[in-house]
Amino acid sequence: KTNATLKVMIAGAPAAGKGTQCAKIIEKYNLVHISVGDILRDEVKNGTAAGKKAKDFMDRGVLVPDEVVVEMVKSRLAQEDVKQRGWLLDGYPRSASQAEAIEKEAIRPDLFLLIQVPDELLVERVVGRRLDPVTGAIYHLKYNPPPPEIVSRLQQRSDDTEEKCRVRVDTHNANVGAVVGYYKDVMVEIDGTQSMDDVFAAISKALDQAIAKSDPLEAYC
Ligand code: AP5
Q: What integer pLDDT is reported at residue 1 of this predicted model?
A: 41
Name the residue at shortest CA distance from atom 7 of ligand 1. Answer: 14
CA of 114 to the centre of ligand 1 (A): 13
Q: What is the pLDDT of residues 148-168, one digit of tens each?
A: 999 999 999 999 999 999 999
ipTM of the complex: 0.97
**Sequence-distant (≥ 6) Cβ neighbours of residue 78 within 8 angstroms:** none
- What is the layout of strands, in order, in the sheet containing 111-116? 32-35, 87-90, 7-12, 111-116, 187-191
Overall average pLDDT of the 36-49 stretch: 96
Q: Are 9 and 73 in contact (CB under 8 A)?
A: no
Q: What integer pLDDT is reported at residue 215 of this predicted model?
A: 72
**Sequence-distant (≥ 6) Cβ neighbours of residue 219 within 8 angstroms:** 208, 211, 212
DSSP SS3 for 47: coil
Residue 199 CA, closest ligand 1 atom number: 53
CA of 122 to the centre of ligand 1 (A): 10
CA of 173 to the centre of ligand 1 (A): 14
CA 123 – CA 127 distance, rounded (Å): 6
Q: What is the pLDDT of residues 100-151, one digit of tens each?
A: 999 999 999 999 999 999 999 999 999 999 999 999 999 999 999 999 999 9
Q: Are 18 and 113 in contact (CB under 8 A)?
A: no
Among residues 183, 160, 29, which one has the least CA distance to residue 114? 183
CA of 197 to the centre of ligand 1 (A): 18
pLDDT of residue 58 exceeding 90, the answer is yes
**Which of 66-75, 182-191, 200-209, 210-219 is predicted with the least confidence, judged by mean pLDDT?**
210-219
Among residues 41, 25, 107, which one has the least CA distance to residue 73? 107
Mutational test site, ligand 1, from 130, 143, 179, max ligand atoms within 8 Å of CB: 143
Overall average pLDDT of the 79-83 stretch: 95
Catalytic positions: 18, 94, 129, 157, 168
Name the residue at shortest CA distance from atom 29 of ligand 1. Answer: 37
pLDDT band at 171 (very low <50, low <70, confident <90, very high): very high
Name the residue at shortest CA distance from atom 20 of ligand 1. Answer: 37
Mutational test site, ligand 1, from 25, 40, 123, max ligand atoms within 8 Å of CB: 40
CA 105 – CA 75 distance, rounded (Å): 12
What is the overall mean pLDDT for the chain? 95
pLDDT band at 177 (very low <50, low <70, confident <90, very high): very high
